Chains A and B, each alone.
Chain A
């Protein structure tokens, strides 16, 4: 059977070569479909991986607390809604919370060697939280040292010396709100442009120079070992509700309290959903490619009725005819698939190189042997499925009528 298939492949290839333009056009339809699917799969998988990697940089025992509902998080951020000092104290008092890191953000003008740029300033209590930043939030220096608490020292994200103040070096001075600060460290890239463009400063000094005496845009709480993160999440929510009741008249309606693990799950689900939807749309192109194969195969059967009759007259069985036509349509799928995979993964790689060169996102296109094998098997299968009905109709031809066909 194996040797016979080898011969049938030769016959099928010869038939495809007989009508080269039509064969290439048909395969081009599959190439477009597979190209789209492979690009979407590779990039969405890479994007998901990058996002998940960032989230996983945070330890499992971290809890994020933000004002407002998770569904309206942008409204809360843009609207300037903040956690109050009472809220932060309520979190600190929650049993099982080891440490709370309030995080305040503000856009400020910063001057370096005569150049002025607007940067996003992030105030963090460096004294208490430096260990958490390093061990649980994946902060890592590529140059310099960590700032000392209470000192006018800053450390900057990876892109600050790369893009914002090109050539910025440690142990140099910058000016913020008319005050001099020393740049003491540069962070390793965390993979997204926004975080990599921030300037970090001790929270006390942040409050001093910005005039924001209290509050924070968000807070991170580290759970003490031996406590259940989910349980602490519930306790924090409860304590925040109580702190709200004590301050009647304030309209802060709710808080988002979410563990890093839960956040990873939610983001993972959203990313999967996005993948499915985009893949669904890209798959339409493959279906169109499959219809193209079916159309070509029906035309081919129609044109080769007499040939089919001759093959039957000289001893070809029905299953042989089916096999020859299926191999032809499978070749359309497979060759189209190879083209689509090369182009699709090629484009994904180009996007990866571009985003990394532009520091947009630490996106790494997912190019795995499994993905390539899936692409090949999928496109071959599409070819075979599309070719089955035409092949079956070819095999059902009556040899006498087929031989008479003009």
Chain B
């Protein structure tokens, strides 16, 4: 059975107007990601991979072309509608963690749920459960400055999962971590993919990280040069 794509891009262009200069970041991208897949987007700096995941993650809209999320065209939605989609269906994990320094781990995880109007008792329960599942039960009331890099990224993953989204987008999630911690974070993402069937899109330029995933999209100068989503097997399934 062929699964309908959860994310579909049709001839997506992104052009930035910088004064009188036009900067073409994406040039006619076509891409399909099926539900429950684990995909890496790879490419050198300036290749357009960040722009691509911003569009996939509804943080940005294409200049031209169409973006579908489970069949719904989102390329012309209002900013508030895109916020709604981001809040409910997409979770972000950033290279810089992007946690609020004046909030503790629990409060950071609860934040997206506040924007979705989840009642306080449910928020606390859900956030604690997520932090426990990521072995952070001893760090619940610690602020980011009191956590290690790996712990911060796990809090960020817990935050990304707080509204139970179908899609997790991770932008260089191991970029600020040592290799051991990076491996641990990738294992967390693999577990999410395996156990909870989340669709995960990871941006990286590290081939070792890409080796964990089941599909690789190579991008250069705003164009996809290789798309291995269909062919690549998942490493952990081999083992």
Partners in one complex: yes
Encoded as 1 (CB less than 8 Å from any B CB) or 0, chain A from 304 to 343 comes to: 0011001111111111100000000000000000000000
The reply to whether B80 and A315 contact each other, CB–CB distance below 8 Å, is no
**In the assembly, what is the distance between CA of A318 and CA of B83, in Å?**
8
Task: Kindly list chain B residues whose C-beta atoms are within 8 Å of the C-beta of A306.
Answer: 98
Given contacts A306-B98, A400-B60, contact A3 B117 (CB under 8 A): yes
Bound-state Cα–Cα, A317 to B81, Å:
8
Chain B nearest CB, measured from A341 CB (Å): 30
A17, A317, A320, A400: residue with the most chain B Cβ atoms closer than 10 Å:
A317
Q: Is A314 a contact of B59 with CB atoms below 8 Å?
A: no
Q: Which residues of B contact A311 (CB under 8 A)?
A: 111, 115
Complex CA distance for A316 and B83, rounded to whole angstroms: 6
Kindly identify which residue among B60, B102, B115 contacts A320, using a CB–CB cutoff of 8 Å. Answer: B115
- Bound together, the chains give a CA A11 to CA B120 distance in angstroms of 14
Measured CB to CB, the closest approach of chain B to A60, in angstroms, equals 63
A248 on interface, CB distance cutoff 8 Å:
no
1/0 per position for A391-406, CB-CB distance to B under 8 A? 0000000111001000
Determine how close the nearest CB of chain B comes to the CB of A12; give it in whole angstroms: 12
Please choose the segment from B85-93, B202-210, B231-239 that sits at the chain A interface, where 4 or more of its residues have CB less than 8 A away: B85-93
Contact in complex: B59, A317 (CB < 8 Å):
no
- Within 8 Å by CB of B80, from A14, A15, A319, lies A319
24 A-B pairs, CB-CB below 8 angstroms? Answer: A4-B117, A7-B120, A8-B114, A18-B102, A306-B98, A310-B100, A311-B111, A312-B83, A313-B57, A313-B92, A314-B86, A314-B115, A314-B159, A315-B84, A315-B87, A315-B112, A315-B116, A315-B163, A316-B83, A317-B80, A318-B80, A320-B115, A398-B60, A403-B59
Given contacts A14-B103, A317-B84, A318-B83, 7 further A-B pairs with CB under 8 A are A14-B102, A314-B111, A315-B88, A317-B79, A318-B80, A398-B60, A403-B59
Residues of B within 8 A of A (CB): 54, 57, 59-60, 79-80, 83-84, 86-88, 92, 94, 98, 100, 102-103, 111-112, 114-117, 119-120, 159, 163
